[in-house]
Amino acid sequence: MNTKSNNQVVKFKLDELLGIGMTFVVLGIALAYGLQIMGDTQDDIGKDDCAANTDTLTNYNTTSNLCYNSTGSTAPPGSGAFNGTANGMIGVEKIPQKLPTIATVVVAAIILGILVTYLYDRFR
């Protein structure tokens, strides 16, 4: 019985994964700067909201995100824009928390792809 072997050599290079790694780096940097910009925007909106108050709470504390006055009374800025930036920051800050899971899934998919390709060629 004459069997013809069709073995193909499949090569994977680690430098092909550079694009995936750079994607994670760029995503991390973009998210960090995005959160910083959103924080600055929230502070600006908070200052404007507190300054527009008709009561005595016309100053804004960037640490506590509250309007205050000289007697120590405080209250949160109540505009929709201020609340929107706060909620937006909470949503965006959840993405970097998921990056390790996303990276693990990507690496697992690459390893499974290599194994399936190797085993397919091996046992075909």
The residue type of 16 is E
- Would 61 be classed as within a structural domain? no
- Could you give the strand order of the β-sheet that contains 66-68, starting from the edge strand earlier in sequence? 59-61, 66-68, 74-75
For residue 66, give every residue at least 6 positions away whose Cβ sits within 8 Å of its Cβ, in sequence order, or none. 60, 74, 75, 76, 77
Q: Is the torsion defined by CA of 47, 50, 52, 58 positive or negative?
A: negative
- Would 24 be classed as within a structural domain? yes
pLDDT at 114: 81
113/80: higher pLDDT: 80
pLDDT at 120: 77
Q: Which of 31, 41, 33, 32 is nearest to 77 (CA)?
A: 41
Q: For the chain, how many structural domains are there in total? A: 1
pLDDT digits (tens, 9 = 90+) for 21-58: 888 889 989 999 999 999 999 999 999 999 998 888 99
* Domain coverage including residue 111: 17-49+80-123
- Say whether pTM exceeds 0.75: no
pLDDT digits (tens, 9 = 90+) for 11-21: 666 666 778 88
- Would 101 be classed as within a structural domain? yes
How distant, in Å, are the alpha carbons of 2, 18, 54, 56, 58 from that of 83? Answer: 76, 39, 19, 21, 18
pLDDT at 12: 63
Element (H, E) at 16: none
